[in-house]
Amino acid sequence: MAIRIKARYENEMLKPLEKLELEEGEEVEIEVKKNPVVMLKGMIKISNKKWVDKIIESPDLEPV
């Protein structure tokens, strides 16, 4: 089973932004991707961050 969630890195820990349906002690595999919008900051003008996030997270786009 695979799920996709966002998390925030605080105090050297990843903190999920939503509840995870996991058993105590369950092991998971984590793939860390930086938000491409944040990486582009200052390179292009973004007028609507939510709209850009939707485009970038689209499953139709191929990874760069």
**Domain-wise residue ranges, the chain:** 32-64
Which regions of the chain are under pLDDT 50?
none
- Please tell me the pTM assigned to this model: 0.50
Within 1-64, residue ranges assigned H as helices are 36-39, 49-56
Residue 3 to residues 18, 20, 37, 63, Cα–Cα distance (Å): 11, 9, 22, 18
* 21: its two tokens: 């349906």
pLDDT at 22: 92
